[in-house]
Amino acid sequence: MNMLGHPFGWIWAGGFFVLFALIVLLASPVVVSGFVRRIGNNDDAELSVKALFGLIRYRYKVPFMSMNGMSLKVDEQVSKSSAGINSWKEYNDEIDSDKVVSAIEKYKHILHLTRDLKGWVRDTLTRVDLTDWRWSTTVGTGDAMWTAMATGAVWSVKTGIIGLLSQMVHVKNGPIMEVNPDFQRSSFKTEWSCVAQIRFGYAILAALQLLARMKKWKKGAKTWKNILFRA
């Protein structure tokens, strides 16, 4: 029997195609990659997000950071792409003690407005796969004994961090970490990168769950927006 010859054959075929496409999209990964590097006094960092096979892209880059007294000056670049429509912005910012205190207060306010926010974060992280983790550090103090002690301390910090992460996310591949002592001079150099991913369907579900937790409060979503994007 020719299904397409049936009066509703094309409708059935179209329905199956839409269902198949929906399953593929929901199963597609949202890939998040991060990069941080510090060599001497030069710093740069980058965060990128790719979803729906690259149809949606977000990239946040900090090409330059420098200390200015008690504040940190940051050059920032943000690029977005959605269905072929691109936008790009570049601006400067200065992070001081007042902004740090303000950020802490925002976090406390959001924590109060959202029902069990920590539980939501914990449940969402269980859906995340950590597919790549690389962290290389070179440290030197100018003294052999203190350099050896600093090397051991850095190793302890790194293993502690990856141990904590392994309890929250799925570590798919063994992390690659190095700590190299520099016995000749006082120096510090570190380079870190990672790639994590979550299924698009799980990301949508997590967003809906977060919205539901915010809706438990009067004007919860609007208050969230005001707190996060208030000048």
pLDDT for residue 193:
93
Cα 17-19-126 angle, rounded to 5 deg: 140
pLDDT for residue 4:
52
pLDDT for residue 111:
74
Rounded to an integer, what distance in angstroms lies between the CA atom of residue 135 and that of residue 36? 9
Give per-residue pLDDT as tens, 189-227.
999 999 999 999 999 998 888 887 776 655 555 665 655
Rounded to an integer, what distance in angstroms lies between the CA atom of residue 27 and that of residue 170? 17
Mean pLDDT of 59-66: 75
pLDDT for residue 229:
54
Domain positions in the chain? 28-95
* Residue 210 Cα distances to 164, 165, 206, angstroms: 24, 22, 6
Higher local confidence (pLDDT), 94 or 190:
190
Q: What share of the chain is helix, strand, coil (3-state, %, to 5)?
A: 45, 40, 15
Q: Which residue has the tokens 């870190």?
A: 192
Rounded to an integer, what distance in angstroms lies between the CA atom of residue 42 and that of residue 39? 5
- Residue 214, number of CB atoms within 10 A of its CB: 20
Q: Is the pLDDT of residue 231 over 50?
A: no
Percent of the chain's residues with pLDDT above 70: 77
